[in-house]
Amino acid sequence: MSYKKGLTVSILLLLLQFGAVSLTHAQLTALPDGGNNRATVSESVGITNVTIKYSRPGVKGREGQIWGKLIPTGLTDQGFGTSKAAPWRAGANENTTIEFNTDVKIEGQDLPAGKYGLFVTYDPNECTVIFSRNSTSWGSFFYDPKEDALQVKVKPVALDKSVERLQYEFKDQQESSATIALEWEKLAIPFRIETDIVKTQLESFRRELRSDKGFRWEAWVQAAQFCIQHKTDLDEALDWANTAVSGTFIGQKNFMTLSTKAQVLTLQGKTAEADAAMKEALPLGQVADIHQYARQLLMQKRTKEAFDAFKLNYDKHPGEFTTNMGMARAWSAMGDYKKALAFLQKAQPQAPDQVNKDNIAKLLKLAEQGKDIN
């Protein structure tokens, strides 16, 4: 054997000796086992992120052979692993997992934030959806009911059209809830998820206001406005509003901060303090700000105060489309439909688009008939 050939063999033996583990475990990228496509679906329910990772088996010509046959009814002994009564893995290959970044309710039952193994016990009349604290085992071969975080009972639903590859769909989505449906062949297994939008949103605000996001008055106004809209945690909302107005480094007296403070005070029944804050805010407002505030007063049946706000806006910006419209609404609210009609006629040729032109045409007819346009 030549020196060069002997050296090559020696090097190869040395590499094999010290690199055997790496070679043994090296895996090239390839299609998943059985052609079961890997998938991830992620959506937000409220501000809660929901992520499902799973593999998608196909029907592959097995219509009528999936439910109750390929997917057995009830718990089964799969002949491998430690579980002698295992549910279905709710997909193929590795564990199907589902993850929530906040606490949720599933079918009305509490489930803490976290990542869970997702399993299903199939039954044609009532399926059991299982959320297991074990999200890392392969399939359901090692399923242990002691690791269950939650089990819920749900009714399977027949589908009109066959779904070739198993999928998870988010349906009937509302501000703080959605239905997640496992769909395959001609069957869906749905379960309802709900989030406490107020609780999760306020917890998020409290965290973020302590971060770099809290160095802007706009963030404190946003948090206070959420409380106003949901009529909740008003004491905390007032603290946030005060920070927006006068907080060290970030506080700023402007129409938005002062009017937000006034709105909180109004909800707290502190009318005099709210009026004082708005008196300070109004001179700082832009045309649209004051107009919108005056319309809010009209909705609250505070007619005289609304009139004064519309008039202030008009005096600062006379003859503009918005202020002419404001005075039309102001006089109409006071019952003087002739003056309301006159301001509508001034505003009509100033209308910036067809939507406003059509709206004025309707309001003109009401005013001509001696009817309130508000």
Mean pLDDT of 226-254: 96
For 18, phi then psi, to 5°, come to -95, -15
**Residue 27: band (very low, low, confident or very high) from pLDDT cuts 50, 70, 90:** low
- What average pLDDT does the chain have? 91
The tokens of 323 are what? 């202020």
pLDDT of residue 26: 57
Provide DSSP, 87-131.
-B-SSSSSPPEEEESS-EEETTEEE-SEEEEEEEEB-SS-EEEEE
Q: How far apart are CA 286 and CA 322, in angstroms?
A: 11
Q: Identify the structural domains of the chain with CATH numbers, from first to last.
A: 33-194 (no CATH), 196-285 (1.25.40.10), 304-374 (1.25.40)
In 10 A of CB 181, how many CB atoms? Answer: 19
pLDDT of residue 11: 43
pLDDT of residue 30: 65
> Has residue 7 got a pLDDT over 80?
no
pLDDT in tens, 175-196: 999 999 999 999 999 999 999 9
Strand, helix or coil at 153? Answer: strand
pLDDT in tens, 64-122: 999 999 999 999 999 999 999 999 999 999 899 999 999 999 999 999 999 999 999 99
Mean pLDDT of 138-159: 96
Provide DSSP, 47-87.
TEEEEEEEEE-B-TT-TTSTBTTTB-BS-B--SSSS-SSB-
Find the range with the poorest average confidence among 25-29, 59-63, 129-133: 25-29
CA-wise closest residue to 309 among 325, 293, 320: 293
pLDDT of residue 23: 44
Provide DSSP, 16-52.
HHHHHHHHHH-----PPGGG-EEEEEEEEETTEEEEE
pLDDT in tens, 33-80: 666 789 999 999 999 999 999 999 999 999 999 999 999 999 999 999
> Has residue 12 got a pLDDT over 80?
no
List, in sequence order, every residue forming a beta bridge with 109; answer none if it has no partner.
Answer: 106
What is the percent of the chain with per-residue pLDDT over 70, rounded to a whole number?
Answer: 91
pLDDT of residue 9: 45
Q: How far apart are CA 223 and CA 241, in angstroms?
A: 8
pLDDT of residue 134: 96
Task: Say if CB 57 and CB 92 are below 8 A apart.
Answer: yes
Mean pLDDT of 234-254: 97
pLDDT of residue 302: 87
**Residue 296: band (very low, low, confident or very high) from pLDDT cuts 50, 70, 90:** confident
Task: Say if CB 31 and CB 55 are below 8 A apart.
Answer: no
